[in-house]
Structures are given as C-alpha cells and as structure tokens.
Amino acid sequence: MLVFVINCGSSSIKYQLFDMPARRQLARGLLERIGEAGSAVLTHRAGSAVLTHRAGEGKWILELDAPDHRAGLDHILRALVSGETAVIDDLSRIRAVGHRVVHGGEEIREAVVIDDAVEAVIERCAELAPVHNPPNLVGIRTARAVLPGCTQVAVFDTAFHHTLPKKAYLYALPLELYERHHIRKYGFHGTSHEYVATEAARLLGKPLLACNLITCHLGNGCSMTAIEAGRSVDTSMGMTPLQGLMMGTRSGDLDPAVLVHLLRNGWVSDVAELDRLLNRRSGLAGISGLGNDMRTLEEHMETNERARLAVEMFAHRVRFYLGGYLALLGRCDAVVFTGGIGENDSLLRRLVLEGLEPLGLSLDPEKNAATVRGKPGAITTSASRVPALVIPTDEEGMIAASTYELAK
C-alpha cells in the first residue's frame, strides 16, 4: 500500500511517499514559497514557488507557480507520476494520506482517521497553536479534495504526551484557567519521542512498556521527555512549543515576570513584538548574534565569546532537564539523543554527559565522536550503568506507519 505523508506549513508542503508496510521511501520533497509574491524572492521569477523533489539518487529543483496550497499539491502529485521525477504510474495507487498535525488538545489522544468532526477539533485547537494548526488544516482540506479516494489520517505532535499526569501538566496558576481555557502543558515532538523510544526499546531488547527512558530531541526545536514504562510522564515543552530547553530561535524557560517587565516598561511595544522576541529572536540566535545553526556557533566558539556562551547555555539547560528527569524516573534504562543536534553534534553531547559517572552515565569519547547522522548506537562505555544512545528520528516514517495501521 502506498502512503503519502504531508506536513503542511503556512507557505510550504513537506512530503514523503512510502511503500508500506516495508516503510520503503519512494520519494520525498519540499515545496516552499507557496503564495509568495515574486518580488519578495529576488532570485526567482515572479510568482514562483520552489519544489525540491528527491527520488532514489535523483534530486530536482523546480520553479513552479503555486498561488495556493491546492496548486502546490497538484504540482507535487504531478511530479510523482509524470516526467523524469515520476516514481509511480498512477495516483490511484496512493491509498492513504498521513497528515502531521501539531495540536490535538485534550480531545485527541492518538492518530485518527479524519472526518468532519476531527477537522472541527483541529480547528478548535488552533486557538492553542495559531501558527501551526491552521496550515495543517489547509493541507487536510486540500488533500481531501485532491485525493478523495484516500483514507486521510491525522497524527498529532501532542498525542504521545496524553499520558502526562495532572501534577506534571498543570501550571500553578488559578485552576479555573485550566478548566475554562485549557491552559496546561501539552508537549510536542511526540511522534519523534515515541519513535526513538520504540527504537531504543528494540536496541535494549526489552518491551517498550518495561522501559524507563529520557529522550532528547535536539534540533532547531528542542524538547526532552521522561518516559516511564513506555509512557510520557513529563516533557519540557508546554502549552506551546516555546517552553523548556533553549532552541535555535526560541527562548525556552524564563521567569514569566520578565514578560510583565518588558511590557510594563515599553521595551516591547505590543504582544506581537513580544511573540517575535520569544519565538524568533531568542535562543542560540539571540545569545550568539550569529544565527541559529549550531554548526556555525561551534565553528566560532574558540574566538567568539557570544558563540561559546550560546553553546554552553544550551548544554547547561539539557543537563538541567536530564538531572530532573533522572530524579523523576528513579530508574532509567537509557538516555536517547535525536534531532539534527542530538544525532550529529558530538561536542554538545560531550558537554551534556561529561562528569555524570556518579549518575550512572559514562561517556565513551571515541564512540561519541564516531556517531553521526544515520548511525544509531551507544555513545557510552559498555560498563555505563545507564547507556546513552543516538537514534536518528523518523517522524515521517512513524506517521506513515500509523496511517497504514488505520488505513489497512
């Protein structure tokens, strides 16, 4: 069965086509700049979106007119069936579409087949995820119109965290704010945490339900999850993906009174500027002044004090959550690193793990240095009481698997 996975953003569509249940990837790609005026894109002709399509060893970059998501999805589907980019002969071979949806609120606890009621829930949850849920919904509506014969499935970033206990998900605010307005921690990156937890259990040779794990998804967005007996019991992101660790451009945790102070003194003019400050101008970019890419910061950290500070702060926060989650779990079977930084950045992993022998984690510097993207494995010594594992994440593969299970 062919399963098409879509991750729809406000001006982009990321996609992968899988042959299931083998999870064989036939094609993947990204259409960017949907609906953007050509004048804003100096290097491209007016009105053009850019499709980067990969299949096998091939890679194509195509300029296309895509004034909206419908036109964008049409282009992508055409690329799958016609010309040199084609990987299948007929779109009717696609039997199911899996959609990544960021927020399912409290109502949705697992992947679901999409119907009008599910669409309505996603729409309601847009209040909690105003940047992400509306474009996710556009993707769903477009795919339902363009591929009407397919089973459409929604897989939610929040779903894996539906097992958080109340003591972990409530904020210490007046309880009415939770009861009336659903203000609580939801957690995100759930598909990634669940995937690497499942893979970790496999590597450990134990059922997931017997595993206590700490999973660290460190990419441009970053979150950590404490997993007890296979279930998420705490996670670092909150009501939105802003809470917790320091990220590429997001602040993560801070004293909420800072926000009051900034507004009261007029140092940010309004709520929109505050939102931009916290989500776009902070984190690694805000501290370093050199942008949000960890590779750039590490290249400059010997000579640039702000770059060094950003890297050290990032590692400090991960260590802080790691210590907290070790205490929450009591027994930990493994610490797992994933995401662009977690999978590749041996320096950062060393800064996080060095000196933790008293807590049972003994880093193996050679294994750590040799472990980069695509290579799962342990980076601790064989004597380490708690192994640390690097496991490349595969959110799209996981979405395809959930979609296949519901569609078959």
Residues that bind ligand AMP in the complex, under the rule CB under 6 A: 219-220, 248, 292-295, 339-341, 344-345
Q: Sign of the C-alpha dihedral, residues 230, 236, 241, 245?
A: negative
Active-site residue (options: 157, 234, 333, 364): 157
Cβ-based nearer residue to ligand AMP, 72 or 219: 219
**d(C-alpha 60, C-alpha 88), whole Å:** 16
Considering beta carbons, is residue 337 or 404 the nearer one to ligand AMP?
337
Contact 219, 331 (CB under 8 A): no
Residue (153 or 390) nearer to ligand AMP, CB: 390
Q: Smallest distance, Å, CB 336 to ligand AMP? A: 14
Contact 85, 51 (CB under 8 A): no
Q: Which helix (H) or strand (E) covers residue 233, if one does?
A: strand 231-235
Beta carbon of residue 295, minimum distance to ligand AMP (angstroms, whole number): 5
Residue 219, helix vs strand vs coil: coil
Distance CA 336, CA 354 (A): 15
Instruction: Provide the minimum distance between the beta carbon of 221 and ligand AMP in the complex, in angstroms, as a whole number.
Output: 6
By the 10 Å C-beta count (0-12 exposed, 13-18 middle, 19+ buried), 114 is classed as buried
Task: Give the position of tokens 């950290």.
Answer: 301
CB of 339 to ligand AMP, least distance (A): 4
275 counts as catalytic: no
Comparing CB distances to ligand AMP, the nearer of 118 and 247 is: 247
Q: Which is nearer to ligand AMP, 4 or 337 (CB)?
A: 337
Give CA–CA dist 337/389, Å, rounded.
6
Q: How far is the CB of 354 from ligand AMP (least distance, A)?
A: 17
Q: Is residue 399 a contact partner of residue 98, using CB atoms and an 8 Å limit?
A: yes
CB of 173 to ligand AMP, least distance (A): 31
d(CA 222, CA 242): 9
Which residue of this chain has its Cβ atom nearest to ligand AMP in the complex? 340
- Sorted by sequence, the CB contacts under 8 Å of residue 285 that are 6+ apart come out as 248, 249, 291, 292
Q: Given the complex with ligand AMP, which of 6 and 341 has the nearer CB atom?
A: 341
Comparing CA positions, the residue from 64, 83, 60, 85 lying closest to residue 73 is 64
Decide whether 72 or 248 has the Cβ nearer to ligand AMP: 248
Q: Which of 75, 80, 78, 81 is nearest to 63 (CA)?
A: 75
How far is 342 from 298, CA to CA, in rounded Å? 14
Contacts with 314 (C-beta within 8 Å, 6 or more apart), sequence order: 245, 246, 284, 294, 348
Q: How far is the CB of 310 from ligand AMP (least distance, A)?
A: 11
HSE-CB at 26 with a 13 A cutoff on CA atoms is 22
The answer to whether 307 touches 301, Cβ cutoff 8 Å, is yes
Instruction: Kindly list the catalytic residues.
Output: 157
